[in-house]
Structures are given as structure tokens and as C-alpha cells.
Amino acid sequence: MEAPGRVLKLDPIRSIKKAPVEEYFESGHRTCQGCLSSLPMRLMAKAAGPRTIVLGSTGCMYVANTTYMTTPWVVPWMHTQLGAAGSAAVGTAAGLKALMRKGKIKDEPINVIAFCGDGGGADMGLSAISAALTDIEYNLLIFLYDNESYANTDIQTSGQTPWGAVTTFSPPGKKHRIMQRRWKKNVPGMLAAGHPDTRYIASGTPAMPVDMMDKVRAALRAGGPTYIHVLDPCPKGWHYDPEHSVELGKLALETGIYPLYEIKDGVLEFTGITKQIATGRRRRKPVREYLEKQGRFAHFKNQDYAYFQKKVDEMWEQWIIPCVVAFSYGGPINITSAEPKVRNKNVERVNASWTGEPGHAHEEYEGVPDAPSEPWRDDRVDEPRSALPSSGQ
């Protein structure tokens, strides 16, 4: 399918040597040491190049990047209201198109990228992103950087905060060890399922920079409204030493908690470490390896690790497309035994490479009691917590 308008010629970035050396998100910002939300800004701008307009929703990536009279942005950048990434992207793309049609500016392809945090994109701005993804006549990319909290306003719980994590809104207390009882929303899966005309939706992480930059270019080449979700470890909110940011991003993939994939014209393909797991070439690590490196899970007991593991195992073993589409087969129509034409093409594609042996880590948990279905029903602790876990900062 052709892009709805002209798009810039952006070659795939398959290795770090293919990445441009020029920077369009420079030094001069004030993000925390080890911030893996500023790295995707840098990589995204590098991949998109100079003919790009960036719009930024309120959050760490706005506030820390706009100290009075300074900014790290080399490309044109504009602040947009929290929750308005989708609307700002459509408005800008439509405005550019109108100005070009009227001959007021040169008619040329220009990338429009609107970024937002998980608070701005997965919660407040979700409806505007959804609307933007149905406006198929405009070329734009919505880039959600997910640090799993409202970080800028002191680490509040968002729809992307993992189950059980400590935030300022969910501290473990005398009566309840687990205060954040919601499982993380599956935003890219939800957007892909509900917006079949969107030509490109992907997940990434700056811990895998080549994969992430390649996906930015693929989205911009595809044209139309597109969406990329990136997982960004945040030393301040996740309570770990900043030197471990990249390691944590990789562990999120290696444990299978966060999958990497792209959906091009409705066809899904896993990428990187997730592809290796899905095709049986790599075993998933126990989720405990990822969780226990972060102070926000320091209050976890064995039953909490076991519950988390159980939920991730379910994602891999019971979802119609592992880790992506949260339905299982069942009901009056038995899809597994139906003719292939009844299935959707994504399922066909995945089944072709899916071994059914995800290599999950049950055996690593021998001796741990079975995870209760709702562990917080029995989560009383005797002692009050004296302090938040050490952050190493």
C-alpha cells in the first residue's frame, strides 16, 4: 500500500554503522543521570533527520528539555498540552498539508512526530491518539515513551505502572503490601487491534537502539498515522543505580515481560530477543531477575514474584498472539480447528514460527508456593515500612 502523501526516503538502519552521525537532540538537557527516556528522543531524532517537526507533550521530556532560553532540540520543536499528542500531530500534519496546497510553503515531505509519556499517551491522551490513528490521510508518528509512571510530577501511578510497584500513590503500608493492583495496559496491542487501517505499529526500547531507530524509519516511510511504544527504564522512579538502565531494558525483554514486535499493514512480526524467544531459540529468564534489581519491587515476597511470573506466562501461553493480543481461543467457534481462512493473517504468520515451547521458567520456582490468584487479599505485613527502598542515588 502506498503512503497517503509523499514521505522522505529513509533507508533502514540495520546496524549501528548505518546510523547517521548527526545529532538533532543534543547536550543541554537536565534529565537525570541514566535517564532512558532522553535516549529515545536522541535516537528518534537521529533516525528521523533534519526535515522533522517534533511536538512534545508535558512531562519529563518537556520540562527537563526546556530550561530558560536553552534546549537540546536542533529540529523545530513545540510543546503541546498533556494529553494532546494525537491532536497536535493531526493539527500540524493538516496545517502543513494546507500550507503546501496553497503554495505558502515549499511542497516537500516533512516528518511530523508527536511524543508523549505514558501518563500523557496511555491515560489522558489515549482518545486523541486513537482519533489520530483513524485519520489516514495524514503522515504522522505518535511516539510514546513509557517510563511506567507520571515521572515529572514525582512518580505517580499511571496505566502503565507494573503490578505491585511502589509509586508515590502506591506505597506499601501497614495493612497492604501491594497497593498497585492493576495489571499494565496493553497499549500497542489495543491500538493495533482497534485501528486496522494504521499501517505501522511497533514496540521498542532504547536499550536496543538499532531496532528502535529502524522502527522509527519504518514508521516514517510507511506514511499515514503510525505509532511506536518504547519502554524506558527510569532510575529515579524505578529505584536503581543509573548505570543499570540498559541492562534493565534488556532484562525486560529477556524475561518476556515486554515484547518487541512490529505490525506492518496488519502483519505482525516479532523482533530481536522476543523473536528468539518466540521461535524457541532462547529461554525466558525468570521475571524475578528483572524485578529484584529495582527498589520499587523491594517489598515483594515469594508469592508476589510467583504471581507476576504466572501473569507473564499466561501472556506467552494463552494469548491468541503471544504477548500481543490478549484473547484465548474458546466459545462457540473453535478457531484452532477452523479452516485457515477463518483466522486472521496475523495468527497465521505467528503460528508459522511459533513452537509452542516458550521456554518459560516454572522449574526455577520449585519450592515457591503456588501464586494465589489475588495475592493482595492476603498481603498484611506486621511491620510498617520505614523508608522507600534505596535508589542508589
Ligand X SMILES: Cc1ncc(C[n+]2csc(CCOP(=O)(O)OP(=O)(O)O)c2C)c(N)n1
Largest CA distance in the chain: 72
Q: Identity (one letter) of the amino acid at 63?
A: V
Shortest distance, CB of residue 151 to ligand X, whole angstroms? 3
Segment 133 to 192, residues that bind ligand SF4, using CB under 6 A: 147, 151
Smallest separation, CB 46 to ligand X (Å): 20
Measured distance CA(127)–CA(120) in Å, rounded = 11
Separation CA 359–CA 314 (nearest Å) = 13
Looking at 235-243, 264-272, 350-358, 374-382, which segment touches ligand SF4 (CB under 6 A)?
Answer: 235-243
* 72: contact with ligand SF4 by CB under 6 A: no
Residue 286 to residue 306: CA distance in whole angstroms: 10
* 29 neighbors 2 (Cβ within 8 angstroms): no
Contacts of 85 (CB under 8 A, 6+ apart): 55, 57, 114, 115, 116, 120, 121, 125, 128, 129, 142, 144
Which listed option, ligand X, ligand SF4, none, makes contact with residue 236 (CB within 5 to 8 Å by class)?
ligand SF4
Interface size with ligand X, residues (CB under 6 A)? 19
Given a contact cutoff of 8 angstroms between Cβ atoms, the answer to whether 292 and 313 are in contact is no
Residue 45 or 350 having the CB closest to ligand X: 45
For the chain, counts of helices (H) and of strands (E): 13, 8
How far is Cα 124 from Cα 86, in angstroms, rounded to an integer?
11
Closer CB to ligand X, 29 or 310, in the complex:
29
CB 234 to ligand X: min, Å: 7
Least spacing, CB of residue 296 vs ligand SF4, in Å: 12
The yes or no reply on residue 236 touching ligand SF4 (CB under 6 A) is yes
Among 87, 152, 186, 203, binds ligand X (CB under 6 A): 152
CA 190 remoteness from chain centre: 12
Interface with ligand SF4, residue 121, by CB under 6 A: no
From the list 262, 294, 16, 74, the residue with the least C-alpha distance to 165 is 294
What is the DSSP annotation of 43-100? HHHHHH-SSEEEEEESSHHHHTT--TT--SB-S-EEEE-TT-HHHHHHHHHHHHHHHH
The one-letter amino acid code at 49 reads G
Least distance from ligand SF4 to the Cβ atom of residue 29, Å: 9
Residue 244 Cβ vs ligand SF4, minimum distance, rounded to whole Å: 12
Size, binding site for ligand SF4 by CB under 6 A: 12
Residue 32 contacts which entry, ligand X, ligand SF4, none (Cβ below 5-8 A, type-dependent): ligand SF4
Does residue 222 interact with ligand SF4 by CB under 6 A? no
Smallest distance from ligand X to CB 7, Å: 28
The CB-nearest residue to ligand X is: 117
Per CB under 6 A, residues contacting ligand X are 37, 58-61, 82-83, 116-120, 147, 149-153, 158
Per CB under 6 A, residues contacting ligand SF4 are 31-32, 35, 37, 60, 64, 147, 151, 234-237
